[in-house]
Amino acid sequence: MLRVLSLSKRFGAVRAVDDATFEVRDGEYLCILGSTGSGKTTLLRLIAGILRPDEGETYIDETLMNETPPEDRNVVYVPQTYALFPHMTVLENVMFGPVARRVPQKKAKEKAMSVLQLVRLDHRTDALPSELSGGMQQRVALARGLASGAKLLLLDEPLGALDARLRIELRGDLKRIAKDSGLTVIHVTHDQEEAMSIADRILILRKGRVQQHGTPFHVYRRPENLFVANFVGRTNFLEGIVDSRDREKTTVRLRQNMYIDVADTSHEREEYIIVAVREESTHLTRDDPGEGMNALDGEIIQLHFLGYSTRFEVKLKNGDRVSSLVSTDDPIGRVKMGDRVRVSFNPRNTLVYDYPTLGLRHELEVY
Amino acid sequence: MPEVRIIDVSKSYGKITALSDISLEVHDGEYVCIVGPSGCGKTTLIKSIAGIVQPDRGEILIDGKSVSHLPIEDRGTGYVFQEIALFPHMNVYDNVSYGLMVRGESPEERKGTVTEMLDMLSIKENSRFYPAELSGGAMQKTAIARALASGSTLLLLDEPLGALDVKVRTVIRHELKRLVKELGLTAIHVTHDQEEAISIADRIVIMKAGRIVEVGPSDELYLNPSRIFTAKFLGEANFFVGIVEKHVGKTLNVKMGDTTLSVRKREKIDLEPNDTCVLAIRPEFVKMVHRDEGNRLNALKGKIVEASFLGDLMNYIVEALNGLRVQVKVQISEEEPDIRVGDDVTIVLPEEHLLIYRHPSEGLEKELALE
């Protein structure tokens, strides 16, 4: 469907998109995930043809598009701030594109009605945009995009203007509409939870460079670098030195001679490494956590109720901090500030990275 | 003495009622979040407290004194509002230290506080920049720092983290709360993000259509909401309609189709046999159990129709044999469960987690509507 080869775009000294190469399959829902300034909107605009790349190529259905203007690419781009025509009704807004392309009135109306049904606004066809809530306006913008008949939909933060609660509700709708209509979608977002719940595959950008491209499962379970491990999900990072290793595990020495085991065996003795453990994979316990599990003693210094679970922050004896996510109905969740606990985790649920040359903090920086 | 007392405040814009008889007390040193869907009146309420909006009726007291006729600058509050910009001719440092300067602190005295604020919000490297040179996120952080350093004991924050990326927001919100507590301030914080509210508020105020739906500590509102809309708005929940069959001691039997569920009675709800009721349960409290345990209390047999991996959670939709669709969330701490679409499963709706409500007179759909 879409193939992007070594695409680059600079604005002055800033490399907004830097050598991006990836493919989007027919019917796939891709989320481009990155923080403000990561280049995700620029990348979307390059694909739409609104911006011209400095280098690289864009293929849509195996045809090179570099010289093709946006209107001839058979794509529809829905920008973050959707400009509906304020003096036109919902129906007129949605029919505008097809009518402008000289689709007969009757056919344009049929098409508009069918997409309004998809976005569940067929009961508000005569309303003016100002009479609609933000969520409804967003859906009109989406319907307008769908009515164009293009097979590739480019959505820039399509849920960004909405309340958090409504956003969760509309995620499911968006995916359903895309799948029901057989569309290929590229959806830009800074919300990793949104990307995880909606995407077939996720492409993670940082400072214009692709960090990882894969299914939500792959990106979450096998983050290729520290940035991805931090940006997607909530992760603890422990600094250590490889103490010893055998065929099944490596023993790592943390600060002040605390030891843990990790399943990774790819690092040599005395190497500086970072061990990453997900918050939900670290357990709190008062007892012996069992054979083969890591156990680190510490004290609860903060707790945050999140509803579905509670996040406990534990200060370990060596000064390192570890966060642990505990289900709300788990009895261990009754521990309080200042209580002594053990943090345990399975060596299999750890990931190991080389110690970054510029330091851990630099590597994790979101911007 | 409560820090802020709002008494019967109402405000209309033409035909639209933005606030309808709002009464609320915010105590000294409390961190209160006001949440609700867009258009619920939360912004009008905080603007009324600030003095940006003049209510049609009612009274607002700060520290026991009516402020109804005082302009914003005389109410003694620190604030972050989208429409109140930073001083454009001052750099970040001077913007943040402005309040302390006005109160007569010397530059040396101011330096410690300002530096701490800038450091905490990680905008130290921007301290010589002017507002026009800042990103939206950095501007917002500067506005927060300015409010915190203003020397006021009451902070009014309208979507103070709204311009920040999700990942940054989840970190900053705890810093914000920590500082408010350390400085002994009272904060009223409006947010559209219910997760933000749950994780930082001492108490949450839920609003809908110009009215307060419910007020309470976040864990109480999440675990035991008195109102259906609260269950809907804070977190996710499954809702079912049933008919009360009979009282059995401390529980009620509720019939849904050919299934009978046992539900713990709640205070203040009096339901009689044959009354229509609504049951709610959060997806993480639904238990997936082994098929052999199908004779347990409140067990339903069904099939998985959707399964998605969300990283720390698996999200399932189960279609039960009695026709109910139930969302189930399972936290993944070791490996994800080996359950796929099409699998036969048994789920249990534990009676201690089932919430029961009187069926709303205007219909369930209207009660749950977010827009």
**Which H/E stretch holds residue A196?**
helix A192-198
State the pTM of this model.
0.90
Same domain flag for A314 and A210: no
Pair (A184, A310) in one structural domain: no
Residue B171's pLDDT band (cuts 50, 70, 90)? confident
Question: For chain A, how many structural domains are there in total?
Answer: 2
State whether A268 and A159 are in the same domain.
no
Same domain, yes or no: A184 and A258: no
CB of A29 within 8 Å of a chain B CB? The answer is no
Least Cα separation, residue B70 to chain A (angstroms): 32
Residue B116 scores a pLDDT above 90? no
Q: Name chain A contacts of B192, Cβ cutoff 8 Å.
A: 163-165
Q: Name the β-bridge partners of A122.
A: none
Smallest Cβ–Cβ distance between B37 and the set A165, A192, A309 belongs to: A165
User: The tokens of A263 are what?
Assistant: 């399943």
Q: Which of residues 300-359 of A touch B (CB under 8 A)?
A: 302, 304-309, 311, 325, 327-329, 346, 349
Residues 150-189 of A with CB under 8 A from B: 162-166, 168-169
The CATH number that applies at residue A175 is 3.40.50.300
Comparing CA positions, the residue from B336, B318, B335 lying closest to residue B327 is B318
pLDDT at B1 (0 to 100): 44
> Which amino acid is residue A110, in one-letter code?
E
Which residues from chain B sit within 8 angstroms of residue A366, using beta carbons? 165, 167-168
What is the domain range of residue A269? 235-364
Cβ-defined contact of A306 to B199 (cutoff 8 Å) = yes
Closest chain B residue by Cα to residue A193? B310
Q: How confident is the model at residue B276 (pLDDT cuts 50, 70, 90)?
A: very high
The DSSP code sequence of B133-147 is GS-HHHHHHHHHHHH
CATH number where A345 lies: 2.40.50.100
State the best of A163, A166, A334 to mutate against chain B, taking most chain B CBs within 10 Å.
A163
Q: Is the pLDDT of residue B11 over 60?
A: yes
Please give the Cα distance from A3 to A66 (Å, whole number). Answer: 12
pLDDT at A210: 97
| Residues of chain A numbered 70-109 and touching chain B (CB < 8 Å) | none
Domain end, chosen from A177, A194, A228, is at A228
CA distance A61 to B150: 58
Q: Which of A308, A321, A326, A350 to mutate to test the interface with B (most CBs of B within 10 A)?
A: A308
CB-nearest partner of B329 from A166, A280, A308: A308
> For residue B22, what pLDDT band results from cuts at 50, 70 and 90?
very high
Q: Which CA distances in Å does A274 have to A188, A325, B250? A: 30, 21, 53
Could you tell me if A183 and A246 lie in one domain? no
CB-nearest partner of B135 from A36, A134, A308: A36
Cβ(B197)–Cβ(B242) under 8 Å?
A: no
A35 and A125 together in one domain: yes
Of B165, B192, B198, the CB nearest to A163: B192
Q: Are residues A239 and A221 in the same domain?
A: no
| Residue B2, pLDDT score | 54
Are the beta carbons of A233 and B370 separated by less than 8 Å? no
Residue A28: strand, helix, or coil: coil
Low-confidence ranges of chain A (pLDDT < 70): 367
pLDDT score of B175: 87
Chain B hits for A302, Cβ within 8 Å: 174
Number of CB pairs < 8 Å for A and B? 114
A232 contact residues in B (CB cutoff 8 A): 311
Q: Strand (E) positions, chain B?
A: 4-13, 16-26, 31-35, 57-62, 65-66, 77-80, 154-158, 186-190, 203-208, 211-216, 238-248, 251-256, 259-264, 276-281, 287-289, 299-309, 313-320, 325-331, 344-348, 355-358
pLDDT of residue A136: 84
Please check whether residues A167 and A267 belong to one and the same domain. Answer: no
Which DSSP letter does residue B73 get?
Answer: G
Q: Which sign does the torsion angle of CA B186, B191, B194, B195 carry?
A: negative
Q: State whether B165 and A190 contact (CB < 8 Å).
A: yes
Higher pLDDT: B270 or B203? It is: B203
User: Considering only alpha carbons, which residue of chain B is nearest residue A223?
Assistant: B311
Span B281-310, average pLDDT: 89
Phi, psi of B350 (to 5 degrees): -60, 135
Question: How many CA atoms are closer than 13 Å to the CA of B60, on its beta-carbon side?
Answer: 27
Residues of B with CB under 8 A from a CB of A: 37-39, 135-137, 165-168, 174, 192-196, 198-200, 218-219, 222-223, 233-236, 282, 284-285, 308-312, 315, 329, 331-334, 353, 370-371
Whether B168 has a pLDDT exceeding 90, the answer reads no
Give per-residue pLDDT as tens, B136-153. Answer: 888 888 999 999 888 888
CB contact under 8 A, A168 and B236: yes
Out of A206, A228, A250, a domain closes at: A228
The verdict on a CB contact (< 8 Å) between B167 and A197 is no
A198 touches chain B (CB under 8 A): no
DSSP A125-191: TT--GGGS-HHHHHHHHHHHHHHT--SEEEEESTTTTS-HHHHHHHHHHHHHHHHHTT-EEEEEES-
Put simply, the answer to whether B222 touches A305 (Cβ < 8 Å) is yes
Give CA–CA dist A263/A269, Å, rounded: 15
| pLDDT tens per residue, range B34-85 | 999 888 999 999 999 999 999 999 999 999 999 988 888 888 888 898 777 8
Tell me the chain B residues in contact with residue A200 when contact means C-beta distances shorter than 8 Å: none
* Residues of chain A with C-beta less than 8 angstroms from the C-beta of B224: none
Q: Are residue A8 and residue A127 in the same domain, yes or no?
A: yes
Task: Tell me if chain B has a CB within 8 Å of the CB of A231.
Answer: yes
- Strands A340-345 and A283-285, by their bridges, are antiparallel
Q: Do A210 and A256 have their domain in common?
A: no
pLDDT per position as a tens digit, A69-108:
998 999 999 888 778 999 999 999 999 988 888 889 999 9
Q: Residue B224 to residues A211, B206, B356, B358: CA-CA distances in angstroms?
A: 42, 14, 10, 15
User: Which residue in the set B165, B192, B371 is minimally distant from A164, CB to CB?
Assistant: B192
- What CA–CA distances, in Å, run from B140 to B92, B292, B334? 11, 55, 39
In this structure, the answer to whether residues A223 and A255 fall within a common structural domain is no
- Minimum Cα–Cα distance from A349: chain B residue: B334
Integer Cα distance of B266 and B299 in angstroms: 21
- Closest CA of chain B from A342, distance in Å: 16
Domain end point (choices A210, A228, A246): A228
Domains assigned to chain B: 4-223 (3.40.50.300), 236-368 (2.40.50.100)
Evaluate if residue B294 carries a pLDDT over 70: no
Task: List chain B residues with CB under 8 Å of A140.
Answer: none
* Beta-carbon separation of B312 and A325 below 8 A: yes
Kindly report the CA angle at A177 between B229 and A128, in degrees rounded to 5? 70
Do A126 and A168 lie in one domain? The reply is: yes
Q: Report ipTM (2 d.p.).
A: 0.88
